[in-house]
Structure 1
């Protein structure tokens, strides 16, 4: 890692812990900063904070006292999940204290270049595909961000010949200042996280920050099938590499006569791809573009696409139980993700859905429920989903307490040849700490069926 001096003897507040806050605080301490950590969880219930205390880092737990901002901090590193309308952040901005996320720290200390992936849907799959393609092509990738280890932890170990492949949320991107990926990917843009950003415009502006510092020496891989993504491209200084599932392009990644092509060169036949779902072609094309720009041979790309069947919790094949194929799509935390999951299957489907109520309705699902013969609901949104299920003409609708109970209920209404699909269309936080926990409970319940 680069031994930078810019944080030495600076007074820095790390706001919010979790993995990113712990790593950032430890790193800043190593770099000679005077670090204070502030986390809402009480110290007695906070082993992470206790560990930082043992390192000699000042820790304040149990609340976010606004008067803390009067202590002369020169920088705040905030947890990405803390919104900008939080009183501490608003107070810091009023006082002119810069606010960043730990991704910025990672970039500043990294010896290795970055490939950054963002967008509404497909980030995790695309990030994993890029990583696997670079790995198969012997390009020494490291994976970081929401999908892997904390970025500033990975960056401490990265060497010049490595490449850090990182999944980036809009929350993380709002806190960058100089972060500049060698290759940036924007998969697509739809409504998401409006409770955090306030408006679609602000959400898109946050996503656009991935290319904000790029120059003509870097690349922006962008979805050519969306006006809003192409509008971002117009304002980027990077070399634009478009991808499209709908039209032939003069350059970039696209589909023609059943083949994946890059800059006019056939790379692989679509029929040989193992990953299910038409929607995954967007992810595949953008990942292929990043791999080709990184010098990966077609043969390595082919090996990955012939064997990669999906990431955990994203349309993940779990098991065949007495002729029922069961899929875990717990990462489908919005309607569009569930639409894409439903579109991946043509046969009779038992859908398990529900979760945190963010105030939206689910009518947009109706056209995609034609193959759903049974709907099993749970969580806060169960009544809303049941209303939509009735409008769609689903004959069997059943409400259960949670995902664990939804699995045997779904099996009860299924027959050999059916697909049982967990694709909640909602965040998990009404009942579960994360979509990963929800998905793991689902998988465990499936294995109990056996």
Structure 2
């Protein structure tokens, strides 16, 4: 951890707790700042705030009073989930106060090699692949950021010879000032989070911010198959390493002669990669590129690709039972994710789907249902899923109570060579508190067959 003096004796307001807010507050306190924490949850119900009080940090809970801005704060550290339309945050901006997220704090104290990864889809898979490839090569590597481990906590542990691989959301990137990874990856850009961002342009700009502070000594690995993304980063000062899954690249990462390649030189054979799905080739290319730039050997990259079966709840291979392969894609809370999952398999598939009804239909799944031999539906959207599957020509459709019943029903009708795929295309909240709980129940049920 670098010694960083700029926060000493500075009045800082941390808005919003959860894991990142707690970590930011404790780090700022450690760096000598005068920290005030503001969280909407009442103090009596707020264990995080109570723990900060015990550390001597000032805490104001129960609302986000705009009057706080009259107390002379010099910096606001915002939880990424709090929108900029929040009156307290908007008031700070109107006063000209800098508003950052905790990844900016992490950057100031970090002394390891920093790899930053963003994009609409594939961030977690790519982050995990890079972290594991570096580890496989005998180096120490930490995964942090939006993947679940707070970046400014990890930055306190990482040494100069280590690597920190940070998954970055658009929410986090909107709050950076000097943050600059040595290697940046943008996996892809699709329309998303427009309930938070005021426009698609703002969303794309937030993603492109990952490269705004890079220099010619840094690298940007970016998806050449998306012209609008290439345009968004056209003013980068970093050395650009493009990747493509559609055409061989003499300079960059691509698919060529049955292998993933860098400058057309093979890195690993496609036949030896166990991670399913054409959409994952983007993630694999980007991860291999970042790993090569970090000095990782081809052997280490090949070893990880031969063993890595997917991130938990993201087209995760669970088990082969009686010749039937079971995959957990509970993270698929929308049709875009389920389309990618269905596209990953070309064998007979039993699809488990359904969940919270947000008022939308599922017609856009129909073109992707050609390999689905049976659909097992559950949750609030069961009727809509039944209608969609029927119009897609699925021969067998069954409605069941929940995910456990769906897994058992699938096992009863599956035949050798089939795929059983939990990819709900819906949020879990009608029956389960999180998609992780939903996926864990599926895993547990499959493992007890």
Q: TM-score, length-normalised on structure 1?
A: 0.94
2:178 and 2:56 map into 1 onto residues whose CA distance is 29
Cα deviation, 1:274-301, whole Å, max 9, x if unaligned, reads: 2222221111111111111111121111
Q: 1:192 to 1:377 in 2, by over 3 A?
A: farther
Cα deviation, 1:104-137, whole Å, max 9, x if unaligned, reads: 1100111112101111111111111111111122
- Whether the 8 Å CA contact 1:136–1:300 is kept in 2: the answer is yes
1:361 and 1:265 map into 2 onto residues whose CA distance is 45
Cα deviation, 1:345-384, whole Å, max 9, x if unaligned, reads: 1222222223445554432211101122332334454444
1:309 and 1:51 map into 2 onto residues whose CA distance is 39
The secondary structure found in structure 2 opposite 1:216 is coil
1:145 and 1:414 map into 2 onto residues whose CA distance is 39
The secondary structure found in structure 2 opposite 1:76 is strand
Question: C-alpha displacement at 1:425, in angstroms?
Answer: 2.3
2:28 and 2:401 map into 1 onto residues whose CA distance is 44
Confirm whether residue 82 of structure 1 aligns to residue 82 of structure 2: yes
Structure 1 range deviating more: 225-234 or 149-158: 225-234
Structure 1 range deviating more: 13-22 or 79-88: 79-88
Structure 1 range deviating more: 315-324 or 143-152: 315-324
Q: 1:362 to 1:163 in 2, by over 3 A?
A: same
Q: 1:360 to 1:7 in 2, by over 3 A?
A: farther
2:231 and 2:35 map into 1 onto residues whose CA distance is 40
Residue 40 of structure 1 corresponds to which residue in structure 2? 40
Q: TM-score, length-normalised on structure 2?
A: 0.94
Unpaired segments ≥5 residues, structure 2? none
Question: C-alpha displacement at 1:394, in angstroms?
Answer: 2.4
Cα deviation, 1:217-253, whole Å, max 9, x if unaligned, reads: 1110011111122112312111110011111112111
Residue 274 of structure 1 corresponds to which residue in structure 2? 274
Question: C-alpha displacement at 1:416, in angstroms?
Answer: 4.3
Residue 366 of structure 2 corresponds to which residue in structure 1? 366
List aligned pairs for 1:123-272, cutoff 5 A. 123-272=123-272
List aligned pairs for 1:251-400, cutoff 5 A. 251-357=251-357, 360-400=360-400
Residue 99 of structure 2 corresponds to which residue in structure 1? 99
- Whether the 8 Å CA contact 1:233–1:240 is kept in 2: the answer is no
2:374 and 2:175 map into 1 onto residues whose CA distance is 43
2:267 and 2:149 map into 1 onto residues whose CA distance is 31
2:231 and 2:401 map into 1 onto residues whose CA distance is 44
2:68 and 2:429 map into 1 onto residues whose CA distance is 29
1:388 and 1:194 map into 2 onto residues whose CA distance is 26
CA RMSD of aligned residues (A): 2.1
- Whether the 8 Å CA contact 1:20–1:150 is kept in 2: the answer is yes
The secondary structure found in structure 2 opposite 1:143 is strand
Question: C-alpha displacement at 1:65, in angstroms?
Answer: 2.7
Q: 1:141 to 1:199 in 2, by over 3 A?
A: same
